[in-house]
Structure formats: structure tokens, C-alpha cells
Structure 1
Amino acid sequence: MTKTVSFINLKGGVGKTTTTVNIAATLATDGYKVLVIDLDPQTNATVSLIDQEEWQERHDSGQTLYHMFNDMLKGESQFDIDKAILQDVADIEGLDLLPSSIHLVEIQDDIPDMDNKAYVSHVDVLGNIIENIKVDYDYILIDCPPNLGAITLNGISISDFYVVPTVPDILSKIGISLILNRINSFKKRKHSCKIDLAGIIFTKVDYRTNLHKSTMTELRSGDNSEVVFENDFPQRISVAEAPVDSRPFITSATAKRKSDFQDTKNIITNLTDEFVRRVGV
């Protein structure tokens, strides 16, 4: 059975995309069939897996998530899910991508108006589109925008689980409670949504700082202790530089030249193994 997981944080710059892309890439190299859906208009997951030229081809042919939503708003039929999905991206067999577009910003505020024009709720557009292709994948990982607006709710609505990547600082700690409360409220209103929290992943961890260490200790001993991942994702320059090659860390030529490549790869592998244990196979 396909496991669909949304990666969510209301703050930008917390390593959400990096976590999503690298777990997806590792799952694919382990033999799973994986689809990354980039719901974020910033397109960071997209450009981490394909280059600008390939993205431009997708956009020019009307095959990005912008076109999916725009079709519903305008009653058009340019978008075709079978044409939109890019297969075996980043030189990784079994890793597919449904790309985003910066143009999503232009229509994101109009998406809720869709309820007055279309036969489908504005939070069910993505679910309806991918319904027939879900069975082709073991895992669908969704990189959500840093908000809980209409686009993000499309991801939450179809997800079995959600993961909260977070930098272990004070502001992020406050944001975790807000995310949990908002998603629980959404579930109460949309009874078909069965999403559960898979866990909180500490990202961009700097073990030298007392703030990071104390925040992690506090969250691991509090009410949320069971949902905090045992494995962290430390701050690594090699990971941050990997998207320069339009690749995740494990297939980035830039990353492979770094002295910490194998050590970082092991960290990502352990994180992915725990992810599988938490969401199932």
C-alpha cells in the first residue's frame, strides 16, 4: 500500500526540502518506487532534482502543478498527470517528480474560489488528479509550502502521515504546536482526512550551541517525546551545496568531493531507515 507523507513547517529555511528530497532519494536507491510532489511555489525540491532547462520544458508544455490548479480555475485541460511526472530524476532509478512552478504564487489566493466554479473542492484537486497513479508508488513524499493555505491542504488531505522538519530553536518550538493544532482542526472538518503525525525531525543541528542542545533535550523529554525522531539532520555545507548540481546529496558530484560525504550519507541513511519504521512499508 502506498504511503503518502507531507513534509510541513510554517517557517522557511528549516531544511524541509533538503529532508524531503534526501529521504526520497535514499528510499529510491533502496529499491522503493518514490514520487516527490513539489507543492511549494519556491520550487526548491524541483530544482534539487532537475535543472532549469528541464523545468522550463515542463512549464512551456503546461505540465507543472501551476497548470494543474490553473486548469481547474479556468476550466481548461492543458495538464496531463502522465506527461507531467518526470521519471528517474537525478540519475536515480525509481525516483519520480511532479514539478512545481514559481507561477503558483500568482494564483494561490484564487484557489479557494474554485469551489464556486468547479465540481471539486479546492482542497481535493491534487487528490483527484493523482488517484489513478498512486498505486504505482511505494512512497509519495510531498514538499509543502511554509503555510497551511489551500495548496498545503491539498497535500495534507491525501496524506497518511506528516513530518515536521524543524531547527531546534525557540521559534520553531512554538511553531510545532501551531502546526499540530491546525492539522487536527482540519481533520475534524474533513472526516475523510486520516493524516497522523509521523514525527519531528531536528534539522540544521549545530551541536556546539547550547540553544540547540537544550531545545532538543526539552522536546525529547516532554509531551512530544515519542514523536521526535531519534536521528537528527546536522548542519552540513556539503548537503546545502548539493542542489547546485540539481541533485540530492547522494548523487551530487559536488557532495561526493567533500571529505564528509560518507559520514553524511550514513546520517541520511539512518534517518531514512527511521522514517520507514515510523510510516511503514
Structure 2
Amino acid sequence: MLVITFISASGGVGKTMLAINTAAHLAIDGHKVLFIDFDPSATATRILLGRSIEDYNLQTLMKNMIRQRKGKRMDQINIDNYIKIHRIPKTPSHEIRVLPGGNIYEISTDIKNLPEWGRLLRDIVDLIMNTYNYEPTIVIDSPNWVYEFFEMTMYLGGYYIAVTRPGGHEISKFTEFLRSISNIISGSANTKPEEIITYVVNQYRSNMKPREITEKWGEIKAVIGKGLPNIMPLVNEDAIDCYYGKEKTPFVGFKMRDELSIDNYMANGPLLIREGRRKDCDERYMPIKQFNAYYSTLKNFLKISVTTE
């Protein structure tokens, strides 16, 4: 089972956008993707399903799992009520299973009073796998910062993709965030943080020139590298291309573009299915080049091939 958890220090960095686009491309590549909306804002749920889900969501499922563990519920939980389908735009038949988000902070006391409460999300995933008789690739969209229920993701194992903006104050906060996450993993998991954590910079200003972006990346790399020298970024300094303008550079993150928005995903589908991805230095295709470089680098980090199954 492959688990990819998207995390961030702050809101508005494009974490949900990257989580959804990554999940969609994995599904197109043949993975049986389960998207878990772990963020109480349920933004990803509204995007993927077109609305909030009030009755059968992560919160209500956890409530029922807790009641079942305590012996207050004897009947079987019908997981079919909770799992919804997102059909990927502009594709003939590709889809993602979605566990809709709900505000689990409202039941925080019930969760924390449960013995081994950190296993609750793992128990839910096991129930889903047993119900559908499959082993999914799981993509999790998390709340910001070091949230209260982060421990639940650790019981699933897998990888963490941290997303940040390039501003100086943001990078300082982000470095502190990465250090906190690394310390938690070092103290609890049987693995080194650098083996399961990586990060990507998003939202370089749209008016920045290619050389300005690479210079800014050098500053970011120096700051994060000084504090966390073993955490490697999702960059590709060997794949030189027209990512940010006519001047060819390495891929060092995403430039702010409308094509990288959620609205654009819903209207036009995932970036890598669009025509023209091989056009050289055409401004229209630069976001596609950026995502292709990110996705290829991510797959190398995750040690997965282009297609599976």
C-alpha cells in the first residue's frame, strides 16, 4: 500500500491543488486511488464531489468506529455509504474513490479517550480494503501545521509531501514546521525522516523571470538546507527546459499560473493529458512542463514506475 500525505505550514499554498492533481495522474497511470480528505475544512471534498457531505463523511465514520470499538454499536458499518466517486474531468473512464472530509475536531474528546486512538484511521483504511478487496494508493489532504491528529497518518506509513510558498517569512515558518514533523517521525517511526519527507515550492510570482526564480530557489535551498540538510526537495536540476520562460532552467518548483489552479483542473482535466506538452518554449505549455518535471521527480522519490497493475 502506497500512502502519500500532503502537508503544509500555512494555508493557501496550493497543497490541495497538488494533492488532487497528483491523485488524478496516479489514477490515470493505473493506480487504484483512494483520496482521504483529512482537512476539517473539507475543501478537497467540495472540489472533487461538488458539495460538502454532511451525513456520511470522515467524522461520522469515526464516530461509528468509536461506538463499535466501545461495544455501543453491534451492526456492521456499511462502508459503501461513505465512499464516493470522483470522475476525473476530460478522461473517458478514470476515477478516484473519495472518503469525504468532516470536522473530526468536533469529536476530539471521543477520539482521544479511545485506547490506541492513533490507529483509528488505519482501522478505517483496513475496513475499506477488506470491503473492496483491493490495496489502494492513498492520497491524504491534511490540515495545516502540526495538527492534533498527525499521529494517525503515521500508523499508515508512507510518504509526506510538504508544500510551501517562496516568501522569506514563509520559508522561515516552513523550516520550523519541517523540523517539528521530522522530530515527531524520528521519535516514533522506524525510519529516517529524510527517507519519507520531501518538499516542493509553489507560487513563485507570475512576473518573475526564469533567472530570478532560480536565484530565489538558491536562497530557499540555503535556508532549509542549513536547518534540515538531509531533507531533499522535489526539484530536478538535471532536466533543463523552458519551465518559466524562454530561458531554459532546472525545475525548482511551480510558478503561479491559472493553469495550475483547481478551477482549471475541473474545466480542462489533469495537466498531463492536455495536448502540446512537448512544444518547445511555448508559454501555454510551461505549466504542463512544470507538472511533468514535478511528477517524474515525485515518482522517483516514491520509487514507483509510470504505470502499475
- Pairwise TM-score range, normalised by the shorter structure: 0.7 to 0.9
Asked if 2 retains the 8 angstrom alpha-carbon contact of 1:170 and 1:215, the reply is no
Identity %: 21
Q: Please tell me the residue identity of whatever aligns with 2:108.
A: I
Q: Please tell me the residue identity of whatever aligns with 2:40.
A: P
Q: Name the structure, 1 or 2, with higher relative contact order (CA <8 Å, separation 6+).
A: 1
In the alignment, is residue 227 of structure 1 matched against residue 248 of structure 2? no
RMSD over aligned CA atoms reads: 3.4
> Which of these two proteins has the greater Rg computed from alpha carbons?
2
Q: Report the TM-score, using the length of structure 1 for normalisation.
A: 0.77
Aligned-pair CA distance for 1:235: 0.7
More helix by share: 1
Q: Please tell me the residue identity of whatever aligns with 2:59.
A: Y
Alignment of 1:109-120 (within 5 A): 110-111=107-108, 113-116=110-113, 118=114, 120=115
1:71 maps to which residue?
Answer: 64
Alignment of 1:81-230 (within 5 A): 81-91=79-89, 93-101=94-102, 104=103, 107-108=104-105, 110-111=107-108, 113-116=110-113, 118=114, 120-133=115-128, 136-137=134-135, 139-191=137-189, 196-206=195-205, 208-209=207-208, 214-221=215-222, 222-223=225-226, 224=229, 227-230=232-235
Q: Please tell me the residue identity of whatever aligns with 2:221.
A: R
Asked if 1 retains the 8 angstrom alpha-carbon contact of 2:5 and 2:160, the reply is yes
Aligned-pair CA distance for 1:244: 8.5
Asked if 1 retains the 8 angstrom alpha-carbon contact of 2:38 and 2:142, the reply is yes
1:266 maps to which residue?
Answer: 289
Asked if 2 retains the 8 angstrom alpha-carbon contact of 1:198 and 1:278, the reply is no
Q: Please tell me the residue identity of whatever aligns with 1:142.
A: I
Q: Please tell me the residue identity of whatever aligns with 2:158.
A: D
Q: Distance in 2 between matches of 1:242 and 1:251?
A: 16
Q: Please tell me the residue identity of whatever aligns with 1:125.
A: L
Asked if 1 retains the 8 angstrom alpha-carbon contact of 2:87 and 2:96, the reply is yes
Q: 1:89 to 1:171 in 2, by over 3 A?
A: farther
Gaps of 5+ in 2: 236-250, 275-281, 305-309
Aligned-pair CA distance for 1:166: 0.7
Q: Distance in 2 between matches of 1:133 and 1:127?
A: 10
Q: Distance in 2 between matches of 1:85 and 1:161?
A: 23
Aligned-pair CA distance for 1:72: 4.6
Q: Distance in 2 between matches of 1:44 and 1:140?
A: 17
Asked if 2 retains the 8 angstrom alpha-carbon contact of 1:38 and 1:142, the reply is yes
Q: Secondary structure at the match of 2:299?
A: helix
Q: Distance in 2 between matches of 1:96 and 1:209?
A: 38
Asked if 1 retains the 8 angstrom alpha-carbon contact of 2:6 and 2:161, the reply is yes
Q: How many residues align?
A: 263
Q: Distance in 2 between matches of 1:123 and 1:275?
A: 27
Q: 1:194 to 1:109 in 2, by over 3 A?
A: farther
